[in-house]
């Protein structure tokens, strides 16, 4: 167990070693169990966390706010449009100044080819931990909750097959951060990771290379498929979600035309039947219902999406407690 996480940033999934992620899981399960038993953990009394959002959120905002309150701290929700950022406050100024007010700075900045750089620029100027609530490259807290959910539902992740698949959605060009963080983290836990997508929906080559390296190092495997049904076959865990063709085009109209070729990439009962009988269906949410996934699957017996959403709270409490004390 590696417990010396005090003061550390968590921006990329790889910022914490595998052993440190195991420590986070251990603490998260304890905090979840103790919450159910009514055992209080005022671990962050007198501590404050800035929650700086450049993008909307249902789960991330609430789970960070509630997590801070449950540990006797305070989270300040800051909508970037209500700040002076558009009038000139730089990433350095946010890092320097918020770092002097708060005990941690959490940021969601998903703008393509910008968000990750912005969060790292804030971190470079900050004297307190900077936590990535999702950028254009990574969504590390989502994947901690996903790992926790897999351990709860499937048991030891080693040797289990997870299908990280693209699915069609019409709402908007969703970030590629969830599949990228999934293939990075799950390959460190000895899983057989499948990445399934049409050719236009590639992920960043260096992230894919890191996933391959992780699989080699940690005894799992990593394979890439381009056929939707094939990804489901005999999988223990299916995680089909939409993401934008951002490495192919950033033009919304062109992207919509590309996506329209793959409208049949919807997770339905027939696709689920290709996976193992007890396979779990995961999604970070929000999902485009009956476009990306049928109601029958997302509300069905194999779906774990609400437990997955709940685990955001417990996993984030663990990281906040370990980094901000």
Question: Under the rule (CB under 6 A), what is the footprint of ligand CP?
Answer: 57-60, 134, 142, 284-285
* Residue (130 or 144) nearer to ligand CP, CB: 144
How far apart CA 51 and CA 77 sit, in angstroms, is 5
Residues across the chain = 325
Question: Which residues, other chains included, contact 111 with Cβ-Cβ below 8 Å and sequence gap of 6+?
Answer: 54, 118, 136
Work out how close the CB of 188 gets to ligand CP at its nearest, in angstroms, rounded to a whole number.
Answer: 21
* Residue (61 or 276) nearer to ligand CP, CB: 61
* Residue (76 or 285) nearer to ligand CP, CB: 285
Work out how close the CB of 57 gets to ligand CP at its nearest, in angstroms, rounded to a whole number.
Answer: 3
The answer to whether 207 and 137 are in contact (CB under 8 A) is yes
Comparing every residue's Cβ against ligand CP, the nearest one is 60
* Residue (59 or 271) nearer to ligand CP, CB: 59
Q: What are phi and psi of 228, to 5 degrees?
A: -55, -50
The answer to whether 78 and 51 are in contact (CB under 8 A) is yes
How far apart CA 172 and CA 188 sit, in angstroms, is 30
R_g of the chain computed on alpha carbons: 19
Work out how close the CB of 309 gets to ligand CP at its nearest, in angstroms, rounded to a whole number.
Answer: 7
The answer to whether 22 and 151 are in contact (CB under 8 A) is no
What's the N-to-C CA distance of the chain in angstroms?
A: 18
Work out how close the CB of 45 gets to ligand CP at its nearest, in angstroms, rounded to a whole number.
Answer: 26
Work out how close the CB of 42 gets to ligand CP at its nearest, in angstroms, rounded to a whole number.
Answer: 26
* Residue (25 or 51) nearer to ligand CP, CB: 51
Question: Which of the 8 DSSP states describes residue 299?
Answer: T
Element (H, E) at 196: strand 192-196
* Residue (302 or 311) nearer to ligand CP, CB: 311
Q: β-pairing, 192-196 with 104-109?
A: unpaired
* Residue (56 or 270) nearer to ligand CP, CB: 56
Work out how close the CB of 146 gets to ligand CP at its nearest, in angstroms, rounded to a whole number.
Answer: 10
Percentage helix, strand, coil, to 5, in the chain? 45, 15, 40
Work out how close the CB of 317 gets to ligand CP at its nearest, in angstroms, rounded to a whole number.
Answer: 16
């Amino acid at each position: 167990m590696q417990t010396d996480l005090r003061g550390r940033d968590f921006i990329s999934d790889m910022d914490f070693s595998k052993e440190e992620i195991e420590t986070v899981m251990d603490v998260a399960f304890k905090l979840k169990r103790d919450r159910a038993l009514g055992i209080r953990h005022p671990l962050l009394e007198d501590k404050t966390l800035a929650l700086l959002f450049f993008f909307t959120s249902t789960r991330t905002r609430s789970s960070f706010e509630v997590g801070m309150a449950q540990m006797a701290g305070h989270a300040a929700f800051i909508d970037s449009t209500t700040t002076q950022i558009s009038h000139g406050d730089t990433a350095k100024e946010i890092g320097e100044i918020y770092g002097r007010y708060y005990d941690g700075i959490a940021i969601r900045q998903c703008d393509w080819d910008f968000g990750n750089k912005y969060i790292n620029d804030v971190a470079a100027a900050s004297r307190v931990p900077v936590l990535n609530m999702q950028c254009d490259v990574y969504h590390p807290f989502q994947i901690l909750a996903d790992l926790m959910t897999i351990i709860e539902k499937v048991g030891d992740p080693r040797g289990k097959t997870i299908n990280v698949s693209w699915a069609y959605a019409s709402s908007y060009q969703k970030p590629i951060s969830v599949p990228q963080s999934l293939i990075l983290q799950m390959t460190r836990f000895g899983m057989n990771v499948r990445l399934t997508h049409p050719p236009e929906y590639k992920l960043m080559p260096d992230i894919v290379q890191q996933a391959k390296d992780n699989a080699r190092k940690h005894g799992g495997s990593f394979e890439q498929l381009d056929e939707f049904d094939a990804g489901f076959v005999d999988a223990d865990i299916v995680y089909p979600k939409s993401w934008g063709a951002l490495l192919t085009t950033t033009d919304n109209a062109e992207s919509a035309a590309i996506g329209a070729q793959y409208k049949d990439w919807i997770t339905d009962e027939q696709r689920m039947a290709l996976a193992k009988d007890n396979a779990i269906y995961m999604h970070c949410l929000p999902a485009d219902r009956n476009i990306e996934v049928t109601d029958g699957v997302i509300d069905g017996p194999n779906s774990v999406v609400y437990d997955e959403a709940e685990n955001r709270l417990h996993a984030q409490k663990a990281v906040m407690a370990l980094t901000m004390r």
